[in-house]
Amino acid sequence: MIKFHPSEQHLVHYVLGELSPAMLMMVGSHVDMCPTCQMHLRDVEEQLSLKAFGQRQVPVAPLDEEAMLNAIFNSKTKSALGPIEVRDYLSLEGKRFKLPATLARNGERIGPWSKMLGKMWRAPINIGSGETLNFIYMDQGAQVPEHTHRGFEATLVVNGVFSDEADEYRDGDFVLLDGQHKHTPQTQHDDCLTLATIDAPMQFTSGLSRLLNPFSSLFLK
């Protein structure tokens, strides 16, 4: 059961197409996985229709994130570039992870895996906007050093489980943190694939990990 969701404000901005490319993909992927937010999205669409037209409207079709992202990036249309590459699964070290529809439709934007600290891997998603958006894979027993955030950090659990001092997060959970939060994400008996975006370097806060601060901008580059 999904416990953590985007805010009502995020859903409204999602319907209106007013999110940044990274957050558009983050929120869209959560909605793909979350029946509760799918219902909330229909309510938001109806409320916006009532406000705009003064009467009930037939619910609009789900957003085409691919078309919206291309419009934001001012890129050529997919019809000009060829068929869209749909990647239903993401593979790493012999493991396969099923992708939500929003991510699957943007398969050609997913870059190669690279090794990070400890038992962690990263695969960037090229959204062409200067934002940072990455798949982060944490193997069993992985841990990110304790840190806070100079800006915000949004994380979506695509598959698996990770935890921190506050809670445990599973498939579909959407977590948004800022400088008021300090945590140590880790996995124990399960591995975890997440989608993550930050708008400023993290600030490591504990022990020797503070020596990483001059290089924290590279952590989720």
What is residue 37's predicted lDDT score, i.e. its pLDDT? 96
Domain of residue 132, CATH code: 2.60.120.10
Domains identified in the chain, total number: 2
Query: Do 121 and 95 contact (CB within 8 A), yes or no?
Result: no
What pLDDT is stored for residue 63 in this prediction?
56
What is the structure's pLDDT at 72? Answer: 54
Boundary of a domain, candidates 81, 100, 123:
81
Question: Is 115 found in the same domain as 132?
Answer: yes
Residue 149 sits in the same domain as residue 68: no
CA distance 62 to 32: 10
Residue 182 is predicted with a pLDDT of 80
Residue 164 reports pLDDT greater than 50: yes
pLDDT at 207 over 60: no
Based on the domain organization, do 33 and 108 belong to the same domain?
no
The domain in which residue 43 lies consists of 8-81
Residues 13 and 50 in one domain: yes
Check whether residue 199 and residue 115 sit in a common domain.
Answer: yes
Does some domain include residue 1?
Answer: no
Q: For residue range 6-29, what is the model confidence (pLDDT) as tens digits? A: 999 999 999 999 999 999 999 999
Tell me what pLDDT residue 31 has.
Answer: 97
75 plus 141 within the same structural domain:
no
What average pLDDT does the chain have?
81
Residue 188's pLDDT is what?
Answer: 93
Beta bridge partners of 177: 153
User: Considering the domain boundaries, does residue 205 fall inside one?
Assistant: yes
pLDDT band at residue 68, thresholds of 50, 70 and 90? low
pLDDT at 214 over 90: no
In a domain, 195, yes or no: yes
The pLDDT, as a whole number, for residue 54 is: 66
Q: Which residues contact 43 (CB under 8 A, 6 or more apart)?
A: none
- Say if residue 29 is in the same domain as residue 104: no
Domain end: 41, 65, 81, which one? 81
Decide which of 40, 59, 81 is a domain's last residue. Answer: 81
The pTM score is 0.81
Q: Are residues 70 and 109 in the same domain?
A: no
Which of 101, 105, 21 minimizes the C-alpha distance to 13? 21
What distance, in Å, lies between the first and last C-alpha atoms of the chain? 31
Q: With bands split at pLDDT 50, 70 and 90, how would you rate the model's confidence at 208?
A: very low
- Confidence at residue 220, expressed as pLDDT on a 0 to 100 scale: 53
Highest-confidence segment of 40-54, 97-111, 142-156, 189-203: 97-111
Average pLDDT over residues 53-69: 55
User: Are 162 and 112 within one domain?
Assistant: yes
19 occurs within a structural domain: yes
Q: What percent of the chain has pLDDT over 90?
A: 52
